[in-house]
């Protein structure tokens, strides 16, 4: 997997949990050996210079349990408890080394109204703070690469919201019916349907240079 990321010039991966959270880990590159345990294989076994890892820093729920994704914690039964749990973990980052605070969830978690209400309350709370920004992983990494004072962030290009160069929204994606691993897979795309279902080591792109010798 990591060879594919490196060969395809991906900016970052964000799939590795880090158990230790005091203080929280900052993003790091895969130039060198991991400084933490491999909790969920596969983990890189060689150097991949320039590929960033945005780690899934462990949270603690209100009962003391740990989780790398918010929906894996023991979530309280009411919105106020959900809000307090997220805020408690945010404050560990905010009051120590200011490492980026990741919000990792599966979409199904938001189908519970009190989860969604507590989450939105948390977002509203932190956005009222003058030194907190709600960003994508890519945007956060641009700041890590080029630390910029708060006084200049309003003009920091990666934090701007001008997307005029993006293609128009695709409202009518194709539905591709592809065979993969003894079953039919369906995928939606605004690009031509691939010949095969895209997968590591078998991208479906003709003449792909990454479809050989896939390693961890």
Greatest mean pLDDT among 97-101, 154-158, 166-170, 180-184: 97-101
Q: Which two tokens stand for residue 182?
A: 């003894």
Higher pLDDT, 205 or 116: 116
Could you identify the residue written with the tokens 């979530």? 75
In the block, which residue shows the tokens 């983990």?
Answer: 43
The average confidence (pLDDT) of the chain is 90
Taking residues 202-210, report their average pLDDT. Answer: 54
Mean pLDDT of the region 182-187: 88
pLDDT average, residue stretch 65-72: 93
Instruction: Tell me: pLDDT of 210 over 80.
Output: no
| Eight-state DSSP code of residue 155 | G
Query: What's the gap between Cα 76 and its chain centre?
Result: 24
Q: What is the pLDDT of residues 152-176, one digit of tens each?
A: 998 999 999 888 888 888 999 999 9
Q: Poorest-confidence range of 57-66, 84-93, 123-132, 175-184?
A: 175-184
- Residue, of 123 and 161, whose pLDDT is higher: 123
pLDDT at position 201: 66
Q: Where does 75-169 show beta strands of DSSP type E? A: none
- Answer whether residue 195 shows pLDDT above 70: yes
pLDDT of residue 202: 64
How far, in Å, CA of 142 to CA of 19, rounded? 25
pLDDT confidence tier of residue 200, bands split at 50, 70 and 90: low
**Residue 55 burial class via C-beta count within 10 angstroms: exposed 0-12, middle 13-18, buried 19 and up:** buried
What is residue 18's predicted lDDT score, i.e. its pLDDT?
Answer: 94
- What residue segments make up the domains of the chain, in order of their start? 1-159, 167-215
């Amino acid at each position: 997997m990591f060879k594919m990321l490196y060969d395809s010039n991906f900016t970052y991966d964000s799939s590795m949990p880090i158990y230790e959270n005091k203080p929280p880990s900052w993003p790091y590159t895969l130039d060198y050996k991991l400084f933490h345990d491999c909790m969920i294989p596969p983990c890189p076994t060689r150097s991949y210079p320039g590929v960033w890892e945005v780690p899934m820093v462990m949270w603690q729920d209100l009962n003391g349990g740990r989780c790398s994704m918010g929906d894996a914690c023991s979530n309280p039964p009411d919105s106020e408890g959900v809000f307090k749990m997220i805020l408690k973990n945010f404050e560990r980052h905010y009051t120590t080394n200011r490492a980026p605070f990741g919000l990792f969830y599966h979409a199904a978690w938001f189908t519970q109204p009190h989860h969604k209400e507590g989450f939105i309350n948390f977002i509203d709370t932190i956005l009222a703070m003058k030194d907190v920004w709600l960003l994508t992983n890519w945007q956060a990494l641009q700041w890590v690469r080029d630390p910029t004072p708060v006084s200049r962030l309003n003009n920091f290009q990666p934090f701007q919201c001008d997307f005029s160069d993006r293609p128009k929204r695709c409202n009518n994606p194709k539905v591709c019916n592809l065979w993969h691993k003894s079953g039919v897979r369906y995928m939606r795309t605004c690009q031509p349907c691939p010949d095969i279902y895209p997968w590591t080591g078998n991208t479906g792109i003709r003449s792909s240079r990454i479809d050989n010798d896939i390693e961890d």
